Amino acid sequence: MDSKKPSHIANDGSLTMVDVTEKPVSQRSARARARLAFSPAAANALRTATLHKGDAFVAAQLAGIMAAKRTADLIPLAHPLALSHVDVFFAWEGDMLLIDATATTAAQTGVEMEAMMAASIAALTIYDMAKALDKGIVIETIRLIEKRGGKSGHWIATE
């Protein structure tokens, strides 16, 4: 077990935002993925853009981008970051929807939380728009897939 003091705990035991003052600015990026399982009927309605609420992918893409930009407002100890790019992509594996979200910045701290926030809110938006057709939609996972930059360099998740 690592005896190093946790980064978000102050000397008096209270929570604190990590001080990144002395860290160098570097190019940083992160990619997160959400996986959603649907009934065949709901998957078909999403694929053919025939949901009664409209095109779920446009709504989810915008919601994910907006969420990434608001990460520091919702995650208490996250640093506000000037994001240089955020995007949300969709792909199908059978009736399983994959939502990949990427975030990039030049900063003193990483953008993993911004990518995770984008994937999470995009997944919840899809859920909201398709729930009338399928009460059993499952958001199976939301996870970091890859990150670049900073002291830890390049990291890729293993399945």
- Active-site residues, by number, are 128
Tell me, what DSSP letter sits at residue 80?
P
Strands in the chain per DSSP E: 26-37, 85-93, 96-107, 138-148, 155-156
Alpha-carbon torsion (62, 67, 68, 73), positive or negative: positive
- The continuous run of DSSP H or E covering 63 comes out as helix 56-69
Bridge pairing between strands 155-156 and 26-37: unpaired
Nearest to 147 by CA among 114, 99, 98: 114
